[in-house]
A and B are shown apart, each in its own frame.
Chain A
């Protein structure tokens, strides 16, 4: 069973979800798809460049705010949805370029700290601006009508549009990772001096990866804003940036499906843990500690590793490379 079959199976499963609402709630699946894309975007950066960003909520939230604000103003227009969508993604890419461009000027250990600090500016602006609704956020964002034909306020219509967007986003990431560009990113990650000696401008490739990752995170943010009709300060907060790190880590850094599995687990966990209030943070922290200490490959990574080892027992093969890389 290769990943192509797995993905086809996944899409087939997702296609029938609205037919069995008693079994699984379509809104929940849309939430998982939005966060799954968000985690895939984060994984594009962490898994393939080795850079940690604590600013990804800023991209998710910026796109959500821009899309939401535009939909409130021109939601009735037949081209309102695509326009708001494109504007949201572009805004996220722009913020990504600003944050990434600054953070990339310092390498290594400083990178994470810079993204964390810069995302505080975005949070501050979201509180201060009027068009973001300040403390209230944006509420009651209309879903609009796609090209004047498909009324998205219908949950089933919204679901299939969300599914199409999800598949497109996922395939885009897959394409990027397996392109020559993706190969260069991995070369830089595994041995930067060697990649530089081959003539690749490491920082430029990493910045491009950062902007792409920010754009896809924004793509997830616009989807989330449309589905829920709601954008709040929580979307640009450090808390959300933390969650996406957790989803990726839990599912498996550098794996194709890991972030999706991680997103499904964390979103599901939140639904179950909603009743225990403040202890959610404790549980999330404990999962962090467990993952980092004993479970660094994540769910999907461990599974791939187990399969790899089983295959190796029948036909001995070469060992794998760095801990982040091995499941790619």
Chain B
């Protein structure tokens, strides 16, 4: 393999790794929400999109709206504020709408979150159109960095590092802390946990907020890499569903490993057979269902 093709190969692999980071963060959020609420959050993609839009609005729109063109909410502030806002919005929906459906078939929760996603996507499309918006990464992360064997844009290296950190921190929170133990207990038997004096309804709301915030962080991180459009989350969520089916929703670590792995495979496919890269995850899902119906890490839902 010549030097240049190795360069191209590594570049595609890096792009795949970055995609994998987003799959990992989003499928972790889905797994967390599913664990406690027993619903598939079909709003996840719209919440990801909303955070990316909020970051863009903060950087480019808020100033002109308020008549102060110099006012900007910078990337670092957006990385905190946008996920927090999206999480609050999500928790409001959980409290007002989703909560009323817990005693019913999980079908209704699925359809409700799906409806909310439609409203959000349609709303953003109405106000901001379908053309993609760009987002400049912060100055300190612009330009390339030498990672030893090749030059990479600094921002991409940052995204990989940040998302791995977030994934590991989430894993630690859920698997190694007291709070995580409560959450896992809530997954197993919410009634018993309530009997021990834990306010389970509040815990459920906060868990939903946390899962949504993960989608929000992913959205802000994606803003400088992807085109910001109202549909960016929906199409990503389709792939994340396949990731979740392959990895199972039962394990946070499983969601993370599957997400990263499939991102890499997608990157490799771009080198070998670019046309198929958009469906390779779905094809792998079909194969996984044939060979390992219960999922790689999963337990049955």
Q: With contacts A109-B106, A282-B126, A288-B112 known, is A124 near B279, CB below 8 A?
A: yes
Residue A96 lies at the interface, judged by CB distance under 8 Å to chain B: no
Interface size on A, residues (CB 8 A): 44
Interface of B, helix, strand, loop or mixed by DSSP:
helix
Binds B, one of A134-142, A209-217, A289-297: A289-297
With an 8 A cutoff between CB atoms, is A21 at the interface?
no
Segment of B83-91, B113-121, B213-221 in the binding face: B113-121
Would you call A286 an interface residue if the criterion is a C-beta within 8 Å of the partner chain's C-beta atoms? yes
Please tell me if the beta carbons of A279 and B301 are within 8 angstroms of each other in the complex.
no
**B118 to A242, Cβ gap below 8 A?**
yes
- Name the distance in Å between A97's Cβ and chain B's nearest Cβ: 13
Answer yes or no: B7 CB below 8 A from chain A CBs. no
Residues on A with C-beta less than 8 A from B125 are 278, 281
A113 to B31: give the CA distance in the assembly, Å: 13
Q: Can you give 27 A-B contacts (C-beta < 8 A)?
A: A50-B105, A52-B110, A102-B289, A106-B245, A106-B294, A110-B301, A113-B241, A117-B238, A117-B282, A121-B279, A121-B283, A128-B275, A242-B114, A245-B111, A277-B126, A284-B118, A285-B122, A287-B115, A288-B115, A289-B115, A289-B116, A292-B112, A293-B101, A293-B112, A296-B104, A296-B108, A323-B105
Q: Does B139 contact A (CB under 8 A)?
A: no
B32 located at the interface, meaning its Cβ lies under 8 Å from any Cβ of chain A in the complex:
no
Provide the residues of chain A in CB contact with B108, threshold 8 Å.
Answer: 292, 296
A246 to B126, CA, bound (A): 21
Of the candidates A108, A118, A245, A293, the one whose C-beta lies within 8 Å of that of B301 is A108
Interface positions of A (Cβ within 8 A of B): 50, 52, 102-103, 105-110, 112-114, 116-118, 120-121, 124, 128, 238, 242, 245, 249, 277-289, 291-293, 296, 322-324
The answer on a CB contact under 8 Å between B122 and A282 is: yes
Residue among B114, B116, B123, B282 making CB contact with A120, cutoff 8 Å: B282
Q: How far is the CA of A323 from the CA of B101 in the complex (A)?
A: 12
Q: A102-B286, A285-B118, A292-B111 are in contact. Are A113 and B245 (CB under 8 A)?
A: yes
**B contacts, CB < 8 Å to A:** 34, 38-40, 97, 100-101, 104-108, 110-112, 114-123, 125-126, 234, 238-239, 241-242, 244-245, 249, 275, 278-279, 281-283, 285-286, 289-290, 293-295, 300-301
Q: Known A113-B245, A114-B245, A121-B279; judge A106-B119 contact (CB<8 A).
A: no
- Please determine whether A110 and B115 come into contact, CB atoms closer than 8 angstroms: no
A283 to B117 CA separation, bound complex (whole angstroms): 12
Asked whether A285 and B117 contact (CB < 8 A) given A105-B289, A121-B283, A279-B126, the answer is yes
- Given A113-B40, A113-B245, A293-B112 in contact, is the A118-B126 Cβ separation under 8 Å? no
Closest to B278 in A: A124
A113 CA to B294 CA in the complex, in Å? Answer: 14
A280–B122 touching, CB < 8 Å: yes
Is the CB–CB distance between A288 and B105 below 8 Å?
Answer: no
Is there an interface contact between B300 and A107, defined as CB atoms closer than 8 Å? yes
Give CA–CA (A289, B120) in the complex, Å.
Answer: 12
- In Å, the complex CA distance between A213 and B66 comes to 54
